Structure 1
Amino acid sequence: MKIGVFDSGVGGLSVLKKIKEKIDFADVIYYGDSINSPYGNKSIEEIQELCLKIGEFLIDNQVNIIVIACNTATAAALETLRERFTSVPIVGVVQPGATMAIKQSKNKKIGVISTPLTAKSGVYEKAIKGLNPKYDVFQKGCDLLCPMIEKGWESSEKNTEILKSYINQLPDEIDTLILGCTHYPLIREEIEKVVDKKIVDPAEETAMHVLFELNRLALKKGVKKSRKEKISIDYFITGDVNKFKEVGERFLGEKLSNIYQPLIG
């Protein structure tokens, strides 16, 4: 079996990392659209067009499931992709993140940091209130964080202050903070230094959802799952391959190979 994972760049590696921890019987194609990063400052129509091209690429490479490892793309294009590509299940990161936050929060006040587009869409508030309308959701769009992480975040007093400036705009009474951009887990240690809330990384619950869907598919198609000693991962990166490799290896703690540039951008 084969999993297709895509993001606007390196952020989706936070989802891939959790998938690797939980699924040992399926290979992966990872698509990082770094040449078009960040998605958070684009129009919904632009994001949908980019996601449809990526979806076609993954379908052509015969994936059994598509994982939108990007909150902005999930907010803008999840339903569009599901309408276009009906042959495979498509999983986003928002609903799993919302589910996890509800489990974590005790006072029903949840904060979300994300790209501006994800915040503007209100997608987390809709998802959380759809599960339980008694929860209050506060969202903050952070326009600088994704590009800074994509280029390779450096620990510095200046960067810490930028991070604080965004988080401080959320109400102090929240007890749970959702990392509403898959890039943010790459700097989780930095975030934990300035936040005293429970932190929710939607990647964990997303990986569980992917595992559930693959098990369902295997049962439906009569596919025998066989554990692999090491799953195969092919990376297709539209932008700077060397920068992706540098940031990705730092986050995953291992050497990355099988990195290619796709013919579409």
Structure 2
Amino acid sequence: MRTIGVFDSGVGGVSVLKEVLRKFPADNIIYFGDSLHAPYGEKEIDEIRSLCLKVSDFLVYEKKVDALVIACNTATGAAMDIMQKRYGIPVVGVVENGAAEGVKHTHNKSIGVIATPATIKMDLYKKSIAKIDSSIKTYSVKCPLFVGMIEKGWEDTLENDELIKSYLNEFSVEIDTLILGCTHYPLIRKYIARHFNGNIIDPAEETAKSLKKIIGEGKYLHKPYLKFYASGDPEKFKKVAQEFLGQEICEVEKIIL
């Protein structure tokens, strides 16, 4: 029976995990949230890469996963190429899948991306979109406050609503498609949608689909398990993860790598 590893800098990757669970109901799933070091998006690339490899080494060498999903845009840009060469198992990330979905939906060839500072610094979406269609213009806005607020548990307040509005107002042109370039952001999608009427792209579903194309359907050999590990406060992680995953989590084991 296969085991799929999913990891993120914290709780945000549950947006991807939810899609992985839908696409792979017969497979064991392990999720690692490196919440002790969140947010990755404000760190230097070398540090992000080092953190990613510690987590992925744990999943591949200790937990023996058969495939790896990088449920973090910043981590995808910083470390996916290295991981693909390092492990010899399927490794998929969210950026290329999000870019492809954005290209499918835009009509005016103007795509907006909201993401962490590190993701935007690496120009991940701009480069990926240009590979697919060089005529499309990509505009990016960094949202440094979102991840920390989501990790604590987002509150629907007037202040937070104004923060979303202020970030979206930074786009200097009319975009018809908005890519949520951080896996934390789909967790507040309904609040973002109050201020954006165009296409909102969550790369999670396409990422799960791309893995399914690589490894195919799983087979029920026995009841699959879902395990959670977090490097930060497990109870805090559990509370926020349950809210967004929409199901109870039995236990979150704390592991500091």
Range into which the TM-score falls when normalised by the shorter chain: over 0.9
- Find the aligned partners of 1:211 and 1:245 in 2 and give their Cα distance: 27
Structure 1 CA distance for aligned equivalents of residues 20 and 178 of structure 2: 22
- Tell whether the 8 Å contact from 2:70 to 2:76 is kept in structure 1 after alignment: yes
Moved more, 18-27 or 123-132: 18-27
Match of 1:248 among 241, 248, 251: 241
Q: Per-residue displacement from partner, 1:134-156 (whole Å, max 9, x unpaired)?
A: 11000111100011001100000
Distance in 2 separating the partners of 1:76 and 1:33: 15
Counterpart for residue 37 of structure 1: 38
Structure 1 position 228, deviation (Å): 7.1
**Aligned-residue offset at 1:258:** 3.3
Q: Does 1:81 align with 2:74?
A: no
Other-structure match for 2:171: 170
* 1:206 matched residue in structure 2: 207
Match of 2:71 in 1: 69
Query: Residue type of the partner of 2:41?
Result: G
Alignment of 1:160-199 (within 5 A): 160-199=161-200
Deviation at 1:83, TM superposition (A): 2.6
SS at match of 2:227: strand
Partner-residue secondary structure (3-state), 1:196: coil
For residues 120 and 59 of structure 1, do their structure 2 counterparts lie closer, same or farther at Cα, with a shift above 3 Å needed? same
Contact 2:95 2:203 in 1 (8 A): yes
Give structure 2 stretches of 5+ with no counterpart. none
Aligned length: 255
1:1-265 residue pairs with structure 2 within 5 A? Answer: 1-60=2-61, 61-85=63-87, 87-215=88-216, 225-227=218-220, 231-264=224-257
Residues 53-111 of structure 1, C-alpha deviation per residue, up to 9 Å, x if partnerless?
111101121111111000011111111222322x2111010000001101111111100
Kindly report the root-mean-square deviation, in angstroms, between the aligned alpha carbons of the 2 structures: 1.4
Does the CA contact (< 8 Å) of 2:98 and 2:206 recur in 1?
Answer: yes
Contact 2:10-2:151 at 8 Å conserved across structures: yes
Shift in alpha-carbon separation, 1:226–1:110, aligned structure 2, 3 A: same
How far the C-alpha of 1:262 sits from its partner, in A, is 1.9
Asked if the contact 1:24–1:230 (Cα under 8 Å) also holds between the matched residues in 2, the reply is: no
Query: Match for 1:38: what amino acid?
Result: P
1:221 corresponds to which residue? none
Name the CA distance, whole Å, in 1 between partners of 2:187 and 2:252.
20
Aligned-partner SS, 1:193: coil
Counterpart amino acid of residue 22 in structure 1: K
Deviations 1:187-235 (A, max 9, x none): 11111111111100000100101111221xx7xxxxxx42478641110
- Displacement of 1:26: 1.0
Percentage identity across paired residues of the two chains: 45
Distance 1:230 1:143 in 2: 40
- Which whole-Å CA distance do the structure 2 matches of 1:231 and 1:165 have between them? 44
Unaligned runs of 5+ in 1: 219-224
CA positional deviation for 1:171: 3.2
Normalised TM-score (structure 2)? 0.96
Change (3 A) 1:159 1:228: farther
Paired residues of 1:17 and 1:252 also in contact (CA < 8 A): yes
Deviation of 1:24 after TM superposition, in Å, equals: 1.5
| C-alpha distance 145-153 of structure 1, shift in aligned 2 (>3 A) | same
Relative to the length of structure 1, the TM-score reads 0.93
